[in-house]
Chains A and B, each alone.
Chain A
Amino acid sequence: MTDFPRAFADALISTALDVAPIVVILLLFQIVILRKKPPNLRKIAAGSVLVLVGLALFLIGLENALFPVGKTMARQLTAPDYIGVDNLAAGVDWLDYLPVYAFAAAIGFATTIAEPSLVAVAIKARDASGGAVHAWGLRIAVAVGVAVGVALGCFRIVTGTPLPWYIIAAYFVVILLTFRSSKTIVPLAYDSGGVTTSTVTVPVVAALGLGLAASVPGRSPLIDGFGLIAFASVFPIMTVLGYSIAASWLSRRRKSKLPKEA
């Protein structure tokens, strides 16, 4: 952190390189095909610079403050001597790993709340629905989904059960919930699965998965370390659909009760 200007410049350059393809494509289509200036070009340009600088600052801060601590924590919590497994060859009891599940759920929830792309989608959903979708309600529903998903994903790594069983079972629950949900929430719910696994969540959750797969006897980080991201993208779909079903059920019940009380 002593070399801040340099680190900031590095982060800015790598962010700029990441967005370079988007800028090239946008300019190409804008100049060659649409041939019309967007109405408030200056404001858009200024806003885009803010996004770039903001994202660079965000990433450099994460890499200096949160990721090292989060990753060290994931390693320490999954280390055999912390878990207290004396005889590793005898196999492990999944209950030994309770602190890991607790950490997985807590960090999954917390990183999702901080995820900038989820903030973006929540704002857009609030505006597009005319305020019917609450930005915070959506974000909390998604975060709860990630928490449950990541914790269950850790349980899977510890027990070594096959990944497809969980994910395919989750798909069937999603399909069932889809047919119980209102048509307006389904596309947003499907989107929220992909949105959550982004800048903040992926590095921490991936470190947790790899650390766990490396320390649990009989698991290989290369084979069993994958899959947590998949859990984190399926479960939010369920919780968002569930949240909307619960919310509409509650409001229906309130409405049907009112006349009786009056």
Chain B
Amino acid sequence: MTRFLVAMLKMTLSSLRDLAPIILVIAFFQIVVLRQPFPDLLSVLIGLLCVIAGLTLFIQGLESGLFPLGEALAQGFAQKGSAAILLAFGFCLGFGTTIAEPALIAVAAEAADVAAQAGAIADEDRARTTYALELRMVVAVSVGAAIVLGILRILKGWPIHRLIIGGYLLVTALTVFAPAEIVGIAYDSGGVTTSTITVPLVTALGVGLATSIRGRNPMVDGFGLIAFASLTPMVCVLAYGMVTS
């Protein structure tokens, strides 16, 4: 019991260290630069306690829950030996986690406003809702495709830099032709798709696969799934902007 308590205390301290910069930055700008007292100090302090406790529990659960889960899946699929099933799983995972992503819902709604203002779609609620939904579908399908591509790369041992650099060149080329108002949203859509639960799970899956397949190195082949998941949405949203304009 005492060992458990000591371990918990250690983890809490490390969470505190993770959060120290953000507390310092906000306190510094509030007190020194803006010269204002905190609006509601008590609720800020209670909130900070929640953040620290939450981060501690999350990291504890990561090592005992999400990581083993991702590894168990990778081993299960590697034993099963069917690439098609593994790829189907990858697509579902990418699509399923992205379509419900709150950050993406927010960005898609803002993107619909931009499109309506620019005159690409009619400035009415129905057109905007349809546009936002279509955009979310596009991004979710592209993330599903990204995980498929990433898993395929791990299976085949393709070098990652060729695929990513190819993606960059594609983004560059599409930027030239895509309508200017979609470019900012497209670039941002790459960043918002990777959520806090998806990242550990997908990373554990990739590293687990690279570990269970003979001839693959976990560092060289295991990482990179997230990189694809943040690149393909940019390509697809740019293409979507060209099609709808």
Contacts and interface: CB of A to CB of B under 8 A. Distances in A.
Nearest to B164: A190
A83 interface: no
Nearest to B64: A47
A120 B199 contact: yes
Main secondary structure of the interface of A (DSSP, over half): helix
A178 B93 contact: no
Given A24-B96, A128-B219, A70 B168 contact: no
Given A22-B97, A183-B159, A187-B160, 6 more contacts: A25-B92, A54-B59, A123-B62, A194-B193, A194-B194, A227-B187
A250 interface: no
Contacts of B58: 50-51, 54-55, 58, 116
Contact of A21 (B28, B77, B97, B165): B97
B184 A21 contact: no
B48 A193 contact: no
Nearest to B221: A187
Contacts, number: 353
B53 to A, nearest CB: 5
B204 A124 contact: yes
Nearest to A74: B29
19 contacts: A1-B46, A22-B198, A26-B73, A34-B73, A43-B68, A51-B61, A54-B59, A58-B51, A61-B52, A103-B25, A110-B24, A124-B67, A124-B207, A171-B168, A183-B159, A195-B226, A196-B191, A227-B188, A233-B191
A123 B18 CA distance: 14
Interface of B: 18-19, 21-22, 24-26, 28-30, 33-34, 36, 38-40, 42-69, 72-73, 76-77, 80, 85, 89, 92-93, 96-97, 99-103, 110, 113-114, 117, 159-161, 164-165, 168, 171-172, 175, 181, 183-185, 187-188, 190-201, 203-204, 207, 211, 217-227, 229-230
A200 B19 CA distance: 11
Interface in A169-226: 171, 174-175, 178-179, 183-188, 190-191, 193-200, 202, 222-226
A188 B220 CA distance: 8
CB-based closest 8 A-B pairs: A47-B65, A65-B47, A50-B61, A61-B50, A54-B57, A58-B54, A226-B184, A57-B54
Contact of A47 (B50, B61, B99, B197): B61
Contacts of B76: 30, 34, 36, 38
